[in-house]
Amino acid sequence: MATTQSSRPVTPAPPPPLFPATLGQSDRARQIADPPISYFIRQAVENPNLISLAAGLVDAESLPVAEVTSAMAELLGDPEAARAALQYGTTQGYLPLREKLLARTVAMDGLSSEDLSLTPEDVVVTSGSQQLLYLVGETLLDPGDLVITEAPSYFVYQGTLASQGARILSVPMDEEGMDTAALETVLARLQRTGELDRLRLVYVCDYFQNPSGRTLSLARRRHLFDLVRRFSRQRRILIVEDAAYRELRYQGADLPSLKSLDRENEWVILAMTFSKAFAPGLKTGYGFLPRGLIDPLLRFKGNHDFGSNNLAQHLAARLLETGAYDRHVDQLRQIYRAKRDVLQTALAEQFGRPGSPCPGLRWTHPNGGLFIWLTFPPGVDTGPEGCLMQAALEEGVLYVPGEFCYVNGEGGPIPTREIRLCYGVASPDQIQEAVRRLARAAARLGK
Amino acid sequence: MATTQSSRPVTPAPPPPLFPATLGQSDRARQIADPPISYFIRQAVENPNLISLAAGLVDAESLPVAEVTSAMAELLGDPEAARAALQYGTTQGYLPLREKLLARTVAMDGLSSEDLSLTPEDVVVTSGSQQLLYLVGETLLDPGDLVITEAPSYFVYQGTLASQGARILSVPMDEEGMDTAALETVLARLQRTGELDRLRLVYVCDYFQNPSGRTLSLARRRHLFDLVRRFSRQRRILIVEDAAYRELRYQGADLPSLKSLDRENEWVILAMTFSKAFAPGLKTGYGFLPRGLIDPLLRFKGNHDFGSNNLAQHLAARLLETGAYDRHVDQLRQIYRAKRDVLQTALAEQFGRPGSPCPGLRWTHPNGGLFIWLTFPPGVDTGPEGCLMQAALEEGVLYVPGEFCYVNGEGGPIPTREIRLCYGVASPDQIQEAVRRLARAAARLGK
Taking only the tens place, the pLDDT of each residue in A253-310 is: 999 999 999 999 999 999 999 999 999 999 999 999 999 999 999 999 999 999 999 9
Chain A residue whose CA is closest to B61: A83
**Is A408's Cβ below 8 Å from some Cβ in B?**
no
Residue B206 and residue B257: Cα distance in Å, rounded? 8
* Chain B closest-CA separation from residue A392 CA (Å): 25
Note whether A14 contacts B311, CB cutoff 8 Å: no
Does B127 contact A130 at a Cβ distance shorter than 8 Å? no
Cβ of B87 within 8 Å of Cβ of A279? The answer is yes
Q: What is the pLDDT of residue A2?
A: 40
Q: What's the CA gap between A41 and B90, in Å, rounded?
A: 11
For chain B, say whether A296 makes contact (Cβ under 8 Å): yes
Give pLDDT tens digits for A203-248: 999 999 999 999 999 999 999 999 999 999 999 999 999 999 999 9
Instruction: Return the pLDDT at B44.
Output: 75
Q: Confirm or reject contact between B140 and chain A (CB < 8 A).
A: yes
Distance from CA of B54 to the nearest CA of A (A): 14
Confidence (pLDDT) at B141: 97
**Ordered strands of the B285-288 beta sheet:** B123-126, B285-288, B268-273, B238-242, B199-204, B146-151, B167-174, B177-178
Q: Do A82 and B281 touch, CB atoms closer than 8 A? A: no
Q: What pLDDT is recorded for position A410?
A: 59
Question: Is B20 or B186 the better-scoring residue by pLDDT?
Answer: B186
pLDDT in tens, B77-117: 999 999 999 999 999 999 999 999 999 999 999 999 999 99
Contact between chains at B72 and A77 (C-beta distance less than 8 A): no
What residues 322-341 of chain B have any CB closer than 8 A to a CB of chain A?
323, 326-327, 329-330
Pairing of the two strands A371-375 and A418-422: antiparallel
Beta bridge partners of B199: B146
CB-count exposure of residue B404 (10 Å: 0-12, 13-18, 19+): buried
**Cα–Cα distances in angstroms (integers) from residue B110 to residues A112, A127, B116, B122, B255, in the given order:** 60, 36, 11, 19, 11
Contact B154, B211 (CB under 8 A): yes
Report the gap between the CA of B172 and the closest CA in chain A (Å). 24
At the topology level, CATH places domain A65-322 in: Aspartate Aminotransferase; domain 2 (3.40.640)
Q: Given A32, A130, A229, which is nearest B306 (Cβ)?
A: A130
Kindly give the residue spans of alpha helices, DSSP state H, lying in A141-233.
Answer: 155-163, 180-193, 218-231
pLDDT for residue B36 is more than 80: no
Yes or no, beta carbons of B281 and A253 under 8 Å apart: no
**Phi-psi sector, B316: left (phi>0), alpha (psi -120 to 50), beta:** alpha
Instruction: Check CB contact of B134 with chain A, cutoff 8 Å.
Output: yes
pLDDT at A9: 46
Q: Which residues of B touch A72 (CB under 8 A)?
A: 72, 76
Closest residue of A to B320, CA-based?
A1
Task: For B437, list phi and psi in degrees, rounded to 5.
Answer: -65, -40
Mean pLDDT of chain B, nearest integer: 93
The pLDDT assigned to B3 comes to: 42
Q: Which residues of B touch A249 (CB under 8 A)?
A: 3-4
B404 at A interface, C-beta within 8 A: no
CB contact under 8 A, A65 and B72: no
Q: If one looks up domain B34-63+327-445 in CATH, what number appears?
A: 3.90.1150.10
Which residues of A55-179 form beta strands (DSSP E)? 123-126, 146-151, 167-174, 177-178
The confidence score (pLDDT) of residue B9 equals 46
The residues, any chain, with a CB within 8 Å of residue B102's CB and separated by 6 or more, are B113, B118, B119, B120, B122, B123, B288
Closest CA in chain B for residue A325? B2
Chain A residues within 8 A of B32 when measuring between CB atoms: 296, 299-300, 303
CB contact B280 to A (< 8 Å): yes
Of B86, B140, B323, the CB nearest to A279: B86
B386 touches chain A (CB under 8 A): no
- How big is the CA angle at A401 (ends A396 and A406), to the nearest 5 degrees? 170
Judge: B65–A79 Cβ closer than 8 Å, yes or no. Answer: yes
How many residues comprise chain B? 447
Could you tell me if B95 and B317 are in contact, meaning their C-beta atoms sit under 8 angstroms apart? no
At residue A394, the pLDDT reads 94
Any A CB within 8 A of B54 CB: no
CA distance A315 to B85: 14
- A8 contacts B37? CB cut-off 8 A: no
- The fraction of chain B above a pLDDT of 90, given in percent, is 87
pLDDT in tens, B288-346: 999 999 999 999 999 999 999 999 999 999 999 999 999 999 999 999 999 999 999 99
Query: Is B275 in Cβ contact with A9 (below 8 Å)?
Result: no
Would you call A138 and B4 a contact, using CB atoms and an 8 Å cutoff? no
Q: Where exactly are the structural domains of chain A? A: 32-61+327-443, 65-322
Count residue pairs from A and B with Cβ separation < 8 A: 390
Please tell me which of the candidates A9, A23, A266 has its beta carbon nearest to residue B260: A9
| Inter-chain CB proximity A24 and B234 less than 8 Å | yes
B379: pLDDT strictly greater than 90: yes
Residue A30's Cβ-side half-sphere holds a number of Cα atoms within 13 Å equal to 8
State the nearest Cα–Cα gap between B89 and chain A, in angstroms.
Answer: 7
A363 vs chain B: nearest CA distance in angstroms? Answer: 26
Give the full edge-to-edge strand order of the sheet including A371-375: A362-363, A371-375, A418-422, A400-401
The better pLDDT of the pair B226, A34 is held by: B226
Q: What confidence score (pLDDT) does residue A409 get?
A: 63
Q: Is B381's Cβ below 8 Å from some Cβ in A?
A: no
Nearest CB among B76, B255, B292 relative to A69 is that of B76
CA distance A105 to A115: 12
Residue B29 touches chain A, beta carbons under 8 Å:
yes
pLDDT tens digits for range B178-199: 999 999 999 999 999 999 999 9
Question: Best interface-test mutation with A: which of B83, B136, B141, B313 has the largest number of A CBs within 10 A?
Answer: B83
Q: Residue B409 — very low, low, confident or very high, per pLDDT cuts 50/70/90?
A: low
- Spans of chain A below 70 pLDDT: 1-16, 409-411, 447
CA geometry: angle at A338 spanning A333 and A343, to 5°? Answer: 125
Of B24, B61, B236, the CB nearest to A21: B236
A275 contacts in B (CB within 8 Å)?
88
B420–chain A nearest CA distance, Å: 19
Q: How far from B240 is each of A312, A363, A403, B290, CA to CA, in Å? A: 29, 52, 40, 10
Q: Residues 353 to 372 of B: which have CB under 8 A from any A CB?
A: none
User: What is the 3-class SS of A163-188, one letter each residue?
Assistant: HCCCEEEEEEEECCEECHHHHHHHHH
User: Nearest C-alpha of chain B: how many angstroms from A446?
Assistant: 38
Compute the nearest-CA separation of A173 from chain B (Å): 23
Record: contact A87-B279, CB cut-off 8 A: yes
CATH 3.90.1150.10 fits A32-61+327-443, yes or no: yes
B45 touches A at CB < 8 Å: no
Q: Which residues in chain A (208-247) have CB-CB distances under 8 A to chain B? A: 218, 222, 225-226, 229-230, 232-238, 247
User: Which of A280, A288, A281, A297 lies closest to A108, judged by CA?
Assistant: A288
Q: Which chain B positions have a beta carbon within 8 Å of A21's beta carbon? A: 232-237
A20 pairs with which residues across the strands? none
Residue B25 predicted with pLDDT over 60: yes
What is the predicted pLDDT for the residue at A25? 94
**Rounded to an integer, what distance in angstroms lies between the CA atom of residue B398 and that of residue B425?**
12
- Residues of B within 8 A of A282 (CB-CB) are 86, 309, 311
Q: Is B139 an interface residue toward A (CB < 8 Å)?
A: yes
Q: Nearest 5°: phi and psi at A290?
A: -60, 150
Position B45 pLDDT exceeds 90: no
Say whether pLDDT at B6 is over 50: no
- For B307, the closest chain A residue by CA position comes to A283
Same CATH topology for B34-63+327-445 and B65-322: the answer is no
